Amino acid sequence: MANGECGYSILEMELKVVSWNIWLAGDLKGIAEFVKNSGADIIGMQEVIPEREPNIMQTIEALGYHSAFSTALEVRHDGKKMGNAIFSKYPIKSQQTHILSETKSGPTTAENERRVAVEADIDVGGILLSVFSTHIAHAHKKPSERQLLQIESLLEVVPRGKAIVLGDFNATPQTEPIQRMEEVLTNTDPSGAPTWSLYPAGCTVCDPQAVDTRFDYIFTTHDLKIHSPKVESSPASDHLPVSVIVELS
């Protein structure tokens, strides 16, 4: 929990921020258990399917979080809605969906599906913080104009102050999409520590055999101080959660 709720000055307020792709085949009970023990103030999730049981939106809300959700696409084969979510211990004053790219014609692939970012404007002790959760197209570690289009669309809507961008960018640190993000925002964990994949089933094309790839990031505007970036541990998804402490003043 943030220090501001324990009687400290707003000048000393710290937030634990987490981003996690929870996988369309993830262990929802395990995901809820991680959140319960995480101490997170703000969480961005990707591959959220509210229609799966137990309903992950309702489960996390029951832990004391406010929520925002935006549908990105239809999950292939079973028709369920999948999208991005934000959970916050602090009140969400407003939310909106930003379309980063629409579905392209032709065969359905991970790269040509509709992609969005959900934005939640959060009131943290009188400070309005803009938080985004997004999931960029999966290009199977290959150069992608589609990814770059989505990055540019995202950067157009992110404020240049008091903003956090959370997500699965499906791009490694040295690639053009991440380098473009770093031109505008702070990459809170420049170490590039890997976050994917715990399970080969995470991608039948890439067939990952180890956690050796960085796909998950937390970016902030330059006015926010950050410390203690971490790749967290959980077997509940093919991705590992990532976290950072954000200082507000």
Mean pLDDT, residues 133-150: 95
In this prediction, residue 76 carries a pLDDT of: 67
CATH number where 52 lies: 3.60.10.10
Return all residues near 49 (Cβ < 8 A) that are at least 6 apart: 24, 56, 75, 80, 81, 82
| pLDDT for the residue 54 | 95
Kindly tell me if the per-residue pLDDT of 10 is higher than 60.
no
Rounded mean pLDDT, 203-223: 96
Average pLDDT over residues 107-121: 85
Would you say 136 and 170 are in contact if contact means Cβ atoms under 8 Å apart?
yes
How far apart CA 187 and CA 182 sit, in angstroms, is 6
Q: What is the pLDDT of residues 63-93, one digit of tens each?
A: 999 999 999 987 766 788 999 999 999 999 9
The pLDDT score that the predictor gives to residue 24 is: 94
Out of 8-17, 73-82, 172-181, 218-227, which region has the weakest mean confidence (pLDDT)? 8-17
Label residue 5 by pLDDT band (50, 70, 90). Answer: very low
Residue 3: what residue type? Answer: N
Of the chain, the percentage scoring pLDDT greater than 90 comes to: 86
Number of domain units in the chain? 1
Q: Read off the pLDDT of each residue in 3-27 and give the average, rounded to a whole number.
A: 78
Q: Which has more confidence, 77 or 205?
A: 205
CA-to-CA separations, 110 to 27, 74, 115, 167, in angstroms, rounded: 22, 11, 10, 16
CA dihedral 72, 96, 135, 59 (to 10 degrees): -80
Range of the domain at 196: 3-248
Q: 121, 153, 159: which is closest to 134 by C-alpha?
A: 153
Q: 7 or 156: which carries more pLDDT confidence?
A: 156
When the pLDDT of each residue in the chain is averaged and rounded to a whole number, the result is 93
pLDDT in tens, 19-61: 999 999 999 999 999 999 999 999 999 999 999 999 999 999 9
pTM as predicted: 0.93
